A = this chain, B = another copy of it.
Amino acid sequence: MTTAGAARSFWGWGDTAAALTESEERALIARVAPLLGGAPKMARPPTRDEIELSPSRVTPPASLDSICTVDTEVRAGHTYGKSFRDVVRALERSWEQPPDVVAYPGSESQVTAILDWATTADVVVIPYGGGSSVVGGVEAPAGDRPVVSLDLAGLSGVREIDRTSRAARIGGGTLGPDIEASLRPHGLTLRHYPQSFEFSTLGGWLATRSGGHFATLHTHLDDFVESIRAITPRGAWESRRLPGSGAGPSPDRMLLGSEGTLGVITEAWMRLQDQPAHRASFVARFASFTDGARAARDLAQSGLWPQNCRLVDATEAWLTGAGDGSAHLLLVAFESGHHPVADRLPLAAEIVRAHGADLADDQVTTPGTQPRRPADDASDRWRATFLRAPYIRDGLVRLGLVNETVETAITWDRFDEFVDGVRAAVTDALITEGCGPSPILTCRLTHVYPDGAAPYFTVIAPGRPGLDRLRQWNAVKAAAMDAIDRLGGTVTHHHAVGRDHRPGYDRQRSDVFADAFRAAKRAVDPGSILNPGVLIDP
């Protein structure tokens, strides 16, 4: 029996050791008191003793016993991902569809053995990386089929580094920090920092088309793939390691976004970056969010390719401590492992000023004399808050708030109407659902393209007690998906589809493509054991 990940919270985000301190809890209570009224109470998280699960319905064959566990805390910890819905259910001590078994394969042959057994025994298999899904991507389907959560922690490690080509072969189960720690001595970096960075894996990133560090140019991890190897119930699906190819449709691009429905990603050759040696950045202030978006658009179309180009609205800037709430902020940063980039700042400054930015001259002049600059401070504060946010989120949920996000993408021609439309739909739904008279709804642009942007909305609003909060959020989320669909956006830019986005996804993709994808899945997973109901029905 393996019980890897024991320090991980089974009910909320991250490591138990990094949970909110008592003083952080008090500060959070004081901060949200005006929103909630009275003296808000923070619900107590569940303890191991409070976990009650339905008994496991299946016994793996003896040959797999050593890599399987039915430990209660482990099963509970693999029942959900880490979305608002997941935390609420755990806080309510509700684990209705736990996996019957959690398996920890240590090799591809053990993955194959589990898939073989599952196909024979009609057991559902849910590939599980870091378990950080916020879209129901690692959740068991309802029904009578037993479920195995396939935890890939044992398939980890940077296995080979090709310094000449700047690439590495990395196990699918490798967590973000472990990837970077292995690459750092070689002066290399994958430089992929989703918000889940500490608790998510390469395989999970690839399976969900994760969005990372780069706000322009290479926004999704997709572009850094040389080759992917996955184990399907019918054998290995792999591609040749290549810098580029035109030989038929890309096998990798079909696995990217397949969310565990086609195979288990066991390793990939990934393109790397040199560690950045040169940096330059500024923070521009805008009175109008629309003007800030126009500036971001022109930056994206300029070919300057800033690594960071994130527009944060005034409210979110205030909430995250990046600003005082008096202006919308556009964080623009350049970096390079090769050449100085400070000469890009005046070019970028000219663009943002043309759209009315408030930007002090000393932010644009070449750095050197100033060891710390306002842009660095704002950026650092924002990043620290960024990685800490899920812990805070858990605190807000314990305080009874609805705290969740909606992310999407749209082309520039429809941008204003789209953002206004989604904002209105979510606000209306929050009010209709009784989430207080003035729910907080913030917006930032996480990624910016020459032809559009990825708006990211965050909701903070009072909710009703218990599981009622889920019904409130489900209604709000449905309203958001309706608006996104009606206004032509995508149901997800980088959180993936999972189970939660299925209604929007089904309207977005064409039926003919769905037929082709379903047929492809059947060919490699004839027993429909892999994540059935995620992306597509069998």
Q: Which residues of A contact B (CB under 8 A)?
A: 162, 164-167, 208-211, 219-220, 226, 232, 234-251, 253-259, 262-263, 271, 274, 297, 301-305, 336-339, 343, 347, 409-413, 447, 449-454, 488-497, 501, 505, 508-513, 515-524, 535
Contacts and interface: CB of A to CB of B under 8 A. Distances in A.
A330 to B, nearest CB: 18
Given A165-B411, A338-B304, A257 B248 contact: yes
Contacts of A508: 240, 247
B513 A254 contact: yes
Contacts of A339: 302-304, 347
B167 A517 contact: no
A129 to B, nearest CB: 15
Contacts of A253: 249-250, 253-254
Nearest to A534: B248
A242 B511 contact: no
Contacts of A451: 162, 165-167, 226, 243, 271
B511 A240 contact: no
Max chain B CB contacts within 10 Å: which of A219, A239, A519, A522?
A519
A246 B519 contact: no
28 contacts: A162-B451, A164-B411, A165-B412, A166-B301, A220-B246, A238-B510, A239-B509, A239-B513, A240-B488, A241-B411, A242-B410, A242-B489, A243-B409, A243-B451, A244-B447, A244-B493, A245-B409, A245-B493, A247-B492, A250-B253, A250-B257, A254-B254, A302-B339, A303-B336, A305-B305, A343-B343, A512-B524, A516-B520
Given A165-B411, A235-B511, A253-B249, A522 B519 contact: yes
B449 A244 contact: yes
A208 B164 contact: no
Contacts of A519: 519-520, 522-523
A368 to B, nearest CB: 18
Contact of A236 (B220, B303, B494, B510): B510
Nearest to A521: B516
A297 B338 CA distance: 13
A496 B248 CA distance: 7
A505 B247 contact: yes
Given A162-B411, A253-B253, A254-B253, A220 B244 contact: yes
Given A246-B496, A301-B338, 19 more contacts: A162-B451, A164-B411, A165-B452, A167-B411, A236-B510, A239-B509, A239-B510, A241-B411, A242-B452, A243-B410, A247-B492, A247-B501, A248-B497, A248-B505, A248-B535, A249-B255, A251-B510, A302-B339, A303-B338
A186 to B, nearest CB: 14
A166 B297 CA distance: 11
Contacts of A497: 247-248
Nearest to A230: B512
A305 B338 CA distance: 12
A302 B336 CA distance: 8
Contact of A509 (B247, B271, B496, B517): B247
B251 A513 contact: yes
Contacts of A347: 338-339
A513 B165 contact: no
A166 B450 contact: yes
Max chain B CB contacts within 10 Å: which of A250, A258, A447, A454?
A250
Max chain B CB contacts within 10 Å: which of A248, A254, A524?
A248
Nearest to A346: B339
A491 B247 contact: yes
B513 A237 contact: yes
Given A253-B253, A253-B254, A411-B162, A243 B516 contact: no
A249 B256 contact: yes
Nearest to A453: B243
A412 B166 CA distance: 9
A339 B167 CA distance: 32
A248 B412 CA distance: 22
Contact of A517 (B210, B248, B301): B248
A451 B521 CA distance: 31
B249 A258 contact: yes
Nearest to A210: B246
A68 to B, nearest CB: 26
A254 B249 contact: yes
Contacts of A301: 166, 274, 338
A449 B272 CA distance: 12
Nearest to A501: B247
A512 B232 contact: yes
Given A220-B244, A242-B410, A520-B517, A338 B257 contact: no
Nearest to A231: B512
